[in-house]
Amino acid sequence: MKIASYSLDYVPSGSAAPKSAAPATLPESAMNEAAIIYGQPILKALQQTEKKQMRFNDLIEKVNQDYKVSSFEEFQGVIKQLGALGLIRVVEPDLRGNHLIALGKSA
């Protein structure tokens, strides 16, 4: 029998399915350190602009010119973490997600 995807579909009915474990998370300090490392191209791109701010879509395109952005969602995660650290801030929220992002006071 070939398993097409990783799941618990193989557990026979009537068997007790194992409880799902809590998702593994990194300690906050490790997340912050990773965000700072991966966020360097983002901070650099913002520092190079006259007003130290860019729209989200322009920012991801600028960073992608020098570094391969693996996914939109991962880029959003780094932006979110940099915001939590005060390194960047959303100056003007956009309903479609194309927020105006600026360097924070901590950067």
The residues facing 53 across adjacent strands are 102
The residue with greater pLDDT, 101 or 105, is 101
Grade residue 3 by pLDDT with cuts at 50, 70 and 90: very low
The residue with greater pLDDT, 6 or 64, is 64
Q: How far is CA 58 from CA 36, 66, 99, in A?
A: 20, 13, 10
Boundaries of every domain in the chain? 29-103
The one-letter code for the residue type at 65 is Q
What is the model's pLDDT at position 35? 82
What is the model's pLDDT at position 20? 52
Question: Does the pTM of the predicted model rise above 0.75?
Answer: no
Contact predicate 72/61, CB 8 Å: no
Grade residue 2 by pLDDT with cuts at 50, 70 and 90: very low
Q: How far is CA 14 from CA 17, 54, 61, in A?
A: 9, 56, 52
Residue 65 has pLDDT above 70, yes or no: yes
CATH code, 29-103: 1.10.10.10
In the sheet where 88-92 sits, what is the strand order?
53-55, 100-103, 88-92
Angle at 51 between CA 49 and CA 56, to 5 degrees: 70
Residue 44 has pLDDT above 50, yes or no: yes
Grade residue 45 by pLDDT with cuts at 50, 70 and 90: very high
